[in-house]
Chains A and B, each alone.
Chain A
């Protein structure tokens, strides 16, 4: 069954409201953590390991301690007993190998950038100067750097563990009873069908949020207050308490203005734990703000997988089985979500398709690199990339258009709800409709015709068209399901609605925004639900003393889970107001109806606004017996299912076959994210998501040298795209409301990133397929593209002629150094 209808037309929901958040941000009236200055505040600077793997043989802190205005210098040994071990909240198997993770390394460093000592001084400059004076002796150890070699245990990242293999996580549809035996399907296809096998590389990425991470801890109050540039103030509070043994009730965590996260601030960090330990020890506020190079080097990274994909199909292109074998680089520790990130992809490789058999194997591997964790999409971009790349390859094998092969295999809109081979129940969707609309907006047929013309004429600029028909699961999710996967937390969200005496409304949410626009979108939801003006709603979040309960913001969950919690809390307010309104109106509750913020007595012109009821309840002079004089309400919402945004993304790339340069010509997407609360915010999420996914395809990569040093440790070398690299995006929507929440919404924060990467690479490969190219590793740099084009001819197909390169003419000896010969 499928429900297709226009987005709801209520007053606020669906309106392109300008954001409430903007006023502060565009005038510089901001509260970034690094802006805070407290009386007596001290500053920390970190001494970090230059080696990927080494024994610490001695640390001499005498000179640093003697420096002016230095308060203390500590090493790992100094805090070994109290610093605890940073938590891994998702051990993916019971036998997962998990090395202890001290915030400050004690006797051995395991990646270049790991903290070995901390200097605390009166100013940041003095702390950084003194950090230079700390003298650390290392005995270098062999480092496990290459993922495949590490998986073979050639060199051990942690010698005492005896292996680099952390966990093997397997899903098999035959065993799970959700499908057939994949090996049988592949065997059969080898005989009478098609088998496509590819190995894809998910390069290591860096989230590269714009605000460097920063933490301030003030131990001077009864509650120790931590401000942190984090996505997860509530989880951080819980884990600080659990790991450090401080009573949770004595900790307050505040995430003030947070400058982007993209999963990169979904972490509990060594720096936060050290700040907590040292502030308590010193009894004074301490602050730490990382430099950009520290951020790129020691903030967690993302992706970094090898993906072996085997797809079996009938001769006509009907897929019969999919087998996935992953190697996933954890880096040197199993971080907060750690190995859970690739496992989130396990349910998404089958994507929108009806595959009869499926097997997923993921081996997580420890190496001597920065630890990896969530980066926008977390597991789902990797899965989507692999399946959408290989579906294109299948189309080539069958000799049909890539959209045709997808249509042959996708779930049709009549087939919902559909239980997939990975065991998820997709509630709704309409892949046909999104695809049709995208094709039209894109001008698919015309671009295909142009591509043909360019191929035939041997145009040096070839055109490629890339397709990605993605889906994803978001809104992590029913707590019981997460429990069954051994995830360390639930998936609920909490909200409170406070009715103030003046009729204004305070909304408290456990979601913790860092750029998403919750203050605006949540105000719209509440304004509609309670019938109050948008301006009268104040959304409070990101402070455990105010929004005391929550599971924070990641995984495109805030609206679909947090928004639903708001609805439930608002509904309770109405229910609580009803008997009081009835009492004041001298009517029966049964005769009351609530609409547009007003309780009316049916069949009369008598009524009261919800604000009037709020004021009367505050005064409490006149309210019914057996009812509490309060309208304030809480709700904790645990979703019944994930929700499944989908969409069709089409990309046209021009490739200069002479230079390998690629240029994006057009990018069109039609996403189905259910009902839209604020189309302006949604468009922003899609644009930004697209840019990040495109950046993986074309520019970004964390590159290490042979010694394990990150060489792309500044924005000079880590290529976050600029305005000059990107184009305007052509985005559209088609709505099939989600049936898993009453607002009918689906997540949107990660969709663009998940969908776009394969669309771009498919387009680049499509442009040069006539040269015999069937894959190009990401990022698709001009060098890689050029080499792929010339892989078979051993160099330029059309050697540079003398005419084209007069400077290399040996007969030309003119001196041009001063321009005189020109």
Chain B
């Protein structure tokens, strides 16, 4: 067991974890952040994407111990003071989700994308979210949502 301390969605947390525990398992099982989900075993689907120290990571591809001392933002910490993050609002407005399982990861990745590139072209959006799979939407409305958010401060997170 290893002792880790980190900040998750603004709150300080500390636990003893097995060294092999993945960050996504830590978030779900220990911290109760079940908004972040597991969709595959191979880091392909991106459903577990969170921000670690301000950068998007697939939390199934990071050990919990690697996040020690870090700052994690999950989908549950994105809305501020009851206000949806512009990316969340854009996903709602553009009908960019159906079953919603990929949505937390997709939104977190999209927020990160706009941070790097505040006004991406359609092509840049498509390449920027390539690591996140969605089976419902055909991506049409996700791309639209990301570009909509780009016009309304979607990168500010």
Contact = CB atoms under 8 A, between A and B. Distances in A.
Given A22-B92, A26-B91, A687-B138, A260 B41 contact: no
A516 interface: yes
Q: For the complex, would chain B's binding face be called helix, strand, loop or mixed by DSSP majority? A: loop
Please indicate which of the listed interface residues A259, A690, A691, A729 has the most CB atoms of chain B within 10 Å of its own CB.
A259
Interface stretch (A133-141, A204-212, A584-592, A640-648): A204-212
B40 interface: yes
A34 B45 contact: no
B95 A260 contact: no
Contacts of A35: 28, 34
Contacts of A32: 34, 37, 101
Nearest to B129: A723
Contacts of B93: 18
Contact of A26 (B33, B44, B97): B97
A211 B99 contact: yes
Contacts of A293: 41
A655 B141 CA distance: 27
Contacts of A684: 95, 98, 136-137, 141
Contacts of A210: 39, 45, 47, 99, 101-102, 133-136
A711 interface: no
Contacts of A125: 18, 20
B40 A27 contact: no
Given A22-B92, A723-B142, A27 B135 contact: no
Interface string A241-270: 000000000000000011110100000000
B154 interface: no
Contact of A27 (B37, B75, B138, B143): B75
B148 interface: no
Contact of B44 (A34, A688, A716, A728): A716
Interface string A7-37: 0000000000011011111111110101100
A18 B88 CA distance: 13
Given A257-B100, A514-B99, A681-B95, A212 B136 contact: no
A30 B130 contact: no
A715 B45 contact: yes
Among A18, A262, A515, find the residue whose CB has the most chain B CB atoms closer than 10 A: A515
Contacts of B107: 26
A714 B41 contact: yes
Interface residues of B, number: 55
Nearest to A685: B98
A546 interface: no
Nearest to A289: B38
B155 interface: no
A382 B47 CA distance: 31
Interface string B106-137: 01000000000000001001110111111111
Contacts of B53: none
27 contacts: A19-B92, A22-B91, A25-B97, A26-B88, A27-B76, A27-B78, A27-B79, A28-B75, A28-B76, A34-B37, A34-B38, A209-B101, A210-B47, A210-B99, A210-B102, A210-B134, A211-B39, A515-B100, A516-B98, A683-B141, A684-B137, A687-B137, A687-B140, A691-B137, A691-B139, A721-B139, A723-B127
Given A24-B100, A723-B142, 11 more contacts: A30-B35, A34-B37, A125-B18, A291-B41, A515-B100, A516-B98, A680-B95, A687-B141, A688-B138, A720-B133, A720-B135
> Nearest 7 pairs between A and B by C-beta?
A28-B35, A515-B99, A25-B100, A259-B101, A691-B138, A715-B44, A687-B138
Interface of A: 18-19, 21-30, 32, 34-35, 125, 208-212, 257-260, 262, 291-293, 514-517, 680-681, 683-685, 687-692, 714-716, 720-724, 726, 728-729, 752
